[in-house]
Structure 1
Amino acid sequence: MPEETCLSPAPAEVEALQAEVARHKKIIEILMDHAEQRRSTRSSDFGLFQTAVMLEDQIRERTRELEAALHENEKINRKLQHTQAQMAGEIEQRKLAHEALEREKEEQKVLIAKLEQATNQLVQSEKLASLGSLVAGVAHELNTPLGNSLMVASAMAGRIDEFAQLLAEGTLRKQALLDFVEYCRNAATLLQRNSQRAAGLIGNFKAVAVDQTSMRRRRFDLRQAIDEVLSTLQPKLKYTGHRLEIDVPAGIVLDSYPGPIEQIITNLLANSLQHGFEGIAAGTIRIGAEAVADGQVTLRYADDGIGIGAADARKVFDPFFTTKLGSGGSGLGLYIVYNLTTAVLGGSITLSTAPGQGVLFELLLPLVAPDNPLAEEESYAA
């Protein structure tokens, strides 16, 4: 279209040509009149007449050229008008398409917001489900020390009744008294041991529960935090052939969030039991840590399970990715691990694995966690 526009004469040029044609016509008329006058008075002047004819032929030729140019200009103008109409239609269509795209973007924003809300709710549900599993495990574990204490207390009540009867009848002998004292000493030892065991379980569970539900920040010893959460997870391993090895030295003190670390250990152990040790009767889980340079600590979690293929390993931290869909897998366990490590603790996590060679999760965490508004919001929400 730009080339056609350049070939068409401008309106000013067309007017100038038309004016020139009119001027030449006038000149011809004047010359013709003059020739007629001279022919009638002074005889015919063939040379002047021939000149006039030539001029008339040139003017006619020029007129034809101008008319052709005008005709071509009209054609070009019609094409321009047609093109402009097409462009106007295209512009209107694009405008409508843009408006539709903007509406679609707004709808997508709403859908994304709803999806994020649903994901957050699922993550919270997953955390609460993990905590509920801890509650069930601790409650089951408490049955043993509390049951033992109840049995000892009941037996001791019977012996006290027998001792009181002997004392009332006046038939109490020294050996019976010595036996009763020894029995009471043993019973007290058993009661104390079982009570301490129950108190320890409750204390560890309380610490883990408070950390995980409040996201509170505090100074803590890494080994102590890991021991506390593992004591609540023992019921998961108690009736399996799997072994747990801990190589975390005492004295690694963090100013951070113990709850996320405990949640990470919980999710990784659950992942090993549900996926890593599938078809394996006796596996080993190793948890180790060491302080490194630049105020950081490396926390390693490894198992010698079936491992993960390369294709799946690239997606294990994606939300809702699971190989157990429909069989109890939510696909949020390792997604939560990744988010807690990076978004809350301010660290990084890498996975090394291969089929048949188990997994190794390596977390690099700062000893002093960055200020995290997200953790504070979750703390208030809890």
Structure 2
Amino acid sequence: MLYRTLPQKVTEQNAELSQTSQRLKTVQKRLIEAEKMATLGGLVAGVAHEINTPVGTGIMAASFLVSETQKLMSICRSQPLKRSTLNTYLGMVSESRKLIFSNLQRSAELVQSFQQVAVDQTSLERRTFALKPYLEEILLNIRPKLKQTHHRIVVEGDDTIEVDSYPGAISQVITNLVINALIHADQPFESGQLYLKIAEVSDNHFLIEYSDDGCGIPPETLEHIFDPFFTTTRNQGGNGLGLHIVYNLVTKTLKGTIDCESQVGVGSKFIINCPRYPQK
């Protein structure tokens, strides 16, 4: 009887295992999407914070202009207008105009930059773009997070390198690497250097090297950093998906490779090698 029922039991267990595996994959996919949206939400908050400065300066200049105009109108109603008073007012108008225009232009640039990065991250559409300027746009959007630390980031490389790839995937990769470094590379209140270097390794490939001079990764941890749900900061809210998302985006979307070199007490380096024109 056992011999006769064994195949049926194996079949039933295999079906249960298959269903469990599918449910786990679904949960993992949802968690990854949630992580992406959380990163995008951080960008929204960061850009809003960044825009506050030029908008606030523009409002202050406009308010000052209104106040001085009201004073001039009051003078005109009560007495003849002197040339010196008019010249002083016109000089103030010119300076206020420059201040308002420059700050509104800065706000528009920030909004445009964020819109492009946000659209790229949510759609993962393919297009042709200059690599280094785009990396600088990404860092502009996460600059508020850098301002909360004592870190400085340096971008080096050829401005003319163009790729026909997926800018949203690159944005997600760089954002996650920077945030990961801010969390793990140094102790709170320590200062550090983050480096982004790009290079053209051949007509068909480009290289992005991302490195820090932080505390480094122990060998026993290094071999697991791209594993899903692996984290050393579980008690601080880490979910272990950041570098797993990076690995999947580089290898599956960008059709490239990513390696990590690290030495305790020296720092870590992530080396990303991708085709300039990945095959669909």
Per the normalisation by structure 2, the TM-score is 0.97
Distance in 1 of aligned mates of 2:240 and 2:189: 22
SS at match of 1:243: strand
Distance in 2 of aligned mates of 1:339 and 1:95: 44
Q: CA 1:181–1:294 in 2, change beyond 3 Å: closer, same or farther?
A: closer
- Quick one: which amino acid aligns to residue 98 of structure 1? P
Q: 2:153 aligns with which of 244, 248, 251?
A: 244
Aligned pair 1:272/2:211, yes or no?
no
1:369-380 matches, within 5 Å, as 369-371=278-280
Shift of 1:294: 5.1
Q: Which residue in the other structure is 1:133 paired with?
A: 42
- RMSD after superposition: 1.1
Q: 2:126 aligns with which of 193, 208, 217?
A: 217
Distance in 2 of aligned mates of 1:248 and 1:333: 26
- Quick one: which amino acid aligns to residue 9 of structure 2? A
Distance in 2 of aligned mates of 1:357 and 1:95: 62
- Quick one: which amino acid aligns to residue 206 of structure 1? Q
Q: Which residue in the other structure is 1:117 paired with?
A: 26
Q: Compare 159-168 and 264-273 and name the one that shifted more.
A: 159-168
Asked whether the 8 Å contact 2:149–2:189 carries over to 1, the reply is no
- Quick one: which amino acid aligns to residue 223 of structure 1? K
Q: 2:57 aligns with which of 135, 142, 148?
A: 148
Aligned pair 1:194/2:106, yes or no?
no
- Quick one: which amino acid aligns to residue 351 of structure 1? C
Aligned pair 1:229/2:135, yes or no?
no
Shift of 1:248: 2.5
Asked whether the 8 Å contact 2:142–2:175 carries over to 1, the reply is yes
Shift of 1:322: 0.4
Q: Which residue in the other structure is 1:22 paired with?
A: none
Asked whether the 8 Å contact 1:280–1:305 carries over to 2, the reply is no
SS at match of 1:331: coil
* Structure 1: gaps spanning 5 or more residues: 1-91, 372-382
Shift of 1:172: 1.4
- Quick one: which amino acid aligns to residue 276 of structure 2? L
Asked whether the 8 Å contact 1:222–1:250 carries over to 2, the reply is yes
Aligned pair 1:303/2:212, yes or no?
yes
Q: Which residue in the other structure is 2:171 paired with?
A: 262
Runs of 4+ in structure 1 deviating by more than 6 angstroms, as ranges, are none
- Quick one: which amino acid aligns to residue 293 of structure 1? S
Q: Which residue in the other structure is 1:163 paired with?
A: 72
Q: Which residue in the other structure is 2:82 paired with?
A: 173
1:5-84 matches, within 5 Å, as none
Aligned length in residues: 280
Shift of 1:170: 3.3
Q: CA 1:98–1:278 in 2, change beyond 3 Å: closer, same or farther?
A: farther
Q: Compare 131-140 and 168-177 and name the one that shifted more.
A: 168-177
Asked whether the 8 Å contact 1:257–1:369 carries over to 2, the reply is no
Q: Greater helix percent: which structure?
A: 1
- Quick one: which amino acid aligns to residue 131 of structure 1? L
Shift of 1:314: 0.4
* Structure 2: gaps spanning 5 or more residues: none
After superposition, the C-alpha distances for 1:51-106 in whole angstroms (9 at most, x for unaligned) are xxxxxxxxxxxxxxxxxxxxxxxxxxxxxxxxxxxxxxxxx423322221211111
Name the % identity: 36
Distance in 1 of aligned mates of 2:54 and 2:188: 33
Shift of 1:311: 0.8
- Quick one: which amino acid aligns to residue 365 of structure 1? C
Q: 2:13 aligns with which of 104, 116, 122?
A: 104
Q: Which residue in the other structure is 1:359 paired with?
A: 268
Distance in 2 of aligned mates of 1:334 and 1:150: 41
Please identify the structure whose Cα radius of gyration is greater.
Answer: 1
